[in-house]
Amino acid sequence: MKYKREIQEYLQESAEAFENLKNQSNEISDISEKIISALRAKKKLLICGNGGSAADSQHIAAEFVGRFEIDDVPLPAIALTTDTSIITAIGNDYSFNEIFSRQIKAIGNPGDVLICISTSGNSRNIIEASKLAKSIGIKVICFTGNNKNELEKISDYCFKANSQVTGIIQQIHITAGQLIAKICELEFYSN
């Protein structure tokens, strides 16, 4: 079979990253508690990312607003990656580096939570969003790969996927996001 070695190596690294994810259950629980606290205070969850991380932002927001497993009242979450008119207007009129921070300036409130997803942790527009959010009293949680990066230095909390392979980092990020949605649902709706 052609590329059998490459397939097996990728799957092995993915399996190891997921095995390590079991050791990060306290981190996932801590992040969930921060979000639950904000939601209890009638605040919202904002999420941003680029490329595959933009898709992950939308996916995680959908788990909160639609449902993950429990069919009950939706939880307030907004993916800042979805409005192409806003994104292209800001990118054109200001800068691509401001596509998320300008949205946060418009709709963010003190006590909200921002999840910044960046496999590298060095995406300029994500860093600008984090800085702006913190300046107005929004808690910032970043999801990155397992490398030193600028985003972790300016976030309140950093969740690192145990890989440096973009695809595997994204697998871990979406799984962690789904677990966080599950925990939030259980906290609010499992009576």
Domain boundaries, the chain: 30-189
Q: Which two tokens stand for residue 108?
A: 């963010």
Question: On the CB side of 137, how many CA atoms lie within 13 Å of its CA?
Answer: 6
Annotate 100-135 with three-state secondary structure.
CHHHHHHHCCCCCEEEEECCCCCCHHHHHHHHHHHH
* Backbone phi, psi, residue 155, to 5°: -95, 155
What kind of fold does domain 30-189 have according to CATH? Answer: Rossmann fold (3.40.50)
- The model's pLDDT over 108-152, given as tens digits with 9 standing for 90+, comes to 999 999 999 999 999 999 999 999 999 999 999 999 999 999 999
pTM of the model: 0.94
Question: Is residue 163 predicted with pLDDT exceeding 90?
Answer: yes
State the Cα–Cα distance between residues 108 and 94, nearest whole angstrom. Answer: 19
